[in-house]
Amino acid sequence: MTGCLKRENMMWTLKETAIRLKTALNMKKREALAGILFALPSLTGFALFFVIPFFMSLYYCFTEGIGGTRFAGFKNFESLLNSESFLLAAKNTLIFNAVAVPLIILISLGFALLLNTGVKGLSFYRSSFILPLVVPVASVILVWQILFHEHGALSQLMQLFGLSAVDWINSGWSVCVLVLLYIWKYCGYNVVLFLAGLNSIPKEYYESARMDGAGPWKCFTRITLPFLAPTGFFVLVLSIINSLKVFRESYQLAGSYPDRHIYMLQHFMNNNFSNLNYQRLSTAAFLLFVLIGLMVFALFRFEAKLGRDLE
């Protein structure tokens, strides 16, 4: 009798567990279905405007002719890598990133450290730094042209001191003008991000370090930099992305065919789009995609290694 009761209890327990599992699975299915339905508009837009065009461009990379009807293998890649205009654009883009990105990080970090010292009117300065992002690009370009044109304000000022006028936008100085424009436009956003990172560092760490005799430099290298590393990594990735978006300012500043020193990859792709050379455009875009992907992957690996070392 006791054995039968035990078996019945065991069967009831197993049955109840099975019912609970079935209920939980049904709830998970309903939640997953609801999540998919909510995400469906976004996923549809992503597929229509990103995924499908990406594979269409990838198809064009290996075809030739109008409409891309003939398979060409790696002919487009070989032609592109032997193109002087593409190599010039790639070189200029790499040089611009190598110069502008470290500069903007150092300058924005310096401003953030100065503002973090307890300066009065911090909210006003934050707003001032963000203003370049909301100013219309056309207005900014107009001011830059007034300043850096061959007969602009800066050249007129130089002539007052007996110096020759310089065509800043159409000479070797054009890359300096573009770097200055990039820093002016995006520096403020990086400053705000660095300020947020600095404010998240506990003040007790600095107080303990000063009590142990640590100076400002030691506090900066042993406390500020390690705790600011995640924010710095985010700012670095964001600065690289923004540097690849500087084509808009460069295009309005100097047109489709600017001085050779600021002829970027975006100029190359935009001109091929205007010429309806979709194979060349798609191949250049795919190579740029691979380059950015490898760069971001390397940065994430470096950030993960840095995080492990700091732990």
Tens digits of residue pLDDT in 210-253: 887 778 788 888 878 888 888 888 888 888 888 888 877 888 88
pLDDT digits (tens, 9 = 90+) for 76-99: 888 888 888 888 888 888 888 889
| 14 vs 149, higher pLDDT | 149
Q: How many CB atoms lie within 10 A of CB 304?
A: 11
CA pair distance 10, 12, nearest whole angstrom: 5
Evaluate if residue 125 carries a pLDDT over 60.
Answer: yes
Answer whether 236's CB lies under 8 Å from 53's CB: no
Angle at 92 between CA 88 and CA 98, to 5 degrees: 145
- pLDDT given for residue 5 in this prediction: 44
Name the residue among 102, 266, 243, 85 with its Cα closest to residue 178: 243
Answer whether 101's CB lies under 8 Å from 108's CB: no
- pLDDT given for residue 103 in this prediction: 93
CA pair distance 63, 73, nearest whole angstrom: 7
Kindly report the length of the chain.
Answer: 311
- pLDDT given for residue 206 in this prediction: 80
| 265 vs 67, higher pLDDT | 265
Average pLDDT over residues 112-139: 74
Bridge partners (DSSP) listed for residue 64:
70
Name the residue among 225, 249, 231, 223 with its Cα closest to residue 189: 231
Contacts of 150 (CB under 8 A, 6+ apart): 165, 166, 167, 168, 169, 170
Whether the full predicted model's pTM is greater than 0.85, yes or no, is: no
CA end-to-end span of the chain, whole Å?
A: 62
pLDDT digits (tens, 9 = 90+) for 45-60: 888 888 888 888 888 8
Cα-based distances in Å from 128 to 183, 196, 308: 14, 16, 37
- pLDDT given for residue 106 in this prediction: 92
- pLDDT given for residue 11 in this prediction: 55
- pLDDT given for residue 130 in this prediction: 75
CA pair distance 169, 149, nearest whole angstrom: 7
Answer whether 86's CB lies under 8 Å from 268's CB: yes
